[in-house]
């Protein structure tokens, strides 16, 4: 992540719950999909303040983010099957093919090198794994959700 983006999320982490209010309907669709999937290891990159933790119903979750302030809030929401780490999604400290699912929710648009991020996602994803990408508004379609089956 760029220093500028990191600074932004560290400074405004307390405001993020307000932003999340507008994203709730889209996230409901995403988590309905995810909670229907078979058990497995799920990596959420750019996990932010952990707003999604209460929405995951069955998987083993690992959340990572570069913002210390966002992670501090996320850690308070952690429970048994959820672990969080400070880590850059562009250089993940995980083995190849470690995860069944990867979630990128409103992250692609803020990462300084999205290609490098996606290369890492593909490296840590198992064959037949699935990637879920939510993206920010686009002028044509509004909020976007993309599910990639590999
Ligand atoms: C717009 S917020 C989205 C938070 C959450 N995923 C959501 O949907 O509510 C973007 C998050 O991505 C994190 N982030 C940005 N670049 C990152 C990177 N290279 N690696 C990991 N996290 C990153 C930011 O710190 C921030 O918490």
The predicted-structure confidence for 118-129, as pLDDT tens digits, reads as follows: 999 999 999 999
Q: Is the CB of residue 84 below 6 angstroms from any atom belonging to ligand 1?
A: no
Burial of 76 (0-12, 13-18, 19+ CB in 10 A): exposed
Our mutation pick for probing the ligand 1 site, out of 46, 77, 111, 120, counting the most ligand atoms within 8 A of Cβ, is 46
Using CA positions, which residue lies closest to atom 13 of ligand 1?
46
Number of domains in the chain: 1
Beta strand spans in the chain (E)? 41-45, 60-65, 82-86, 99-105, 125-138, 142-149
Q: Which residues form the domain of 58?
A: 3-149
- In this prediction, residue 1 carries a pLDDT of 55
Looking only at the bridges linking them, the beta strands covering 99-105 and 125-138 are parallel
Cβ atoms 52, 25 nearer than 8 A:
no
- In this prediction, residue 147 carries a pLDDT of 63
pLDDT score of 135 more than 60: yes
State the pTM of this model: 0.87
The predicted-structure confidence for 50-76, as pLDDT tens digits, reads as follows: 999 999 999 999 999 999 999 999 999
CATH classification at residue 77 = 3.40.50.150
The predicted-structure confidence for 6-63, as pLDDT tens digits, reads as follows: 777 776 667 667 666 667 777 888 999 999 999 999 999 999 999 999 999 999 999 9
Count of alpha carbons within 13 Å of 133, Cβ hemisphere only? 17
**Distance from C-alpha of 60 to C-alpha of 40, rounded to nearest angstrom:** 6
Q: Is the CB of residue 120 below 6 angstroms from any atom belonging to ligand 1?
A: no
């Amino acid at each position: 992540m760029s220093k500028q983006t990191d600074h932004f999320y560290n400074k405004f982490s307390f405001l993020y719950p307000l932003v999340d209010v507008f994203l709730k309907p889209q996230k409901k669709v995403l988590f309905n999909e995810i909670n229907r999937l078979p058990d497995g290891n799920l990596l959420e990159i750019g996990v932010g303040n952990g707003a999604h933790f209460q929405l995951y119903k069955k998987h083993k979750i690992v959340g990572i983010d570069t913002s210390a302030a966002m992670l501090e809030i996320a850690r308070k929401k952690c429970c048994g099957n959820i672990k969080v780490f400070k880590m850059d999604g562009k250089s993940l400290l995980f083995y190849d093919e470690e995860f069944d699912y990867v979630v990128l929710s409103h992250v692609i648009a803020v990462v300084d090198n999205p290609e490098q991020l996606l290369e890492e996602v593909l490296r840590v994803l198992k064959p037949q794994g699935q990637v879920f990408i939510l993206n920010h508004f686009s002028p044509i379609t509004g909020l976007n959700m993309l599910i990639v089956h590999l």
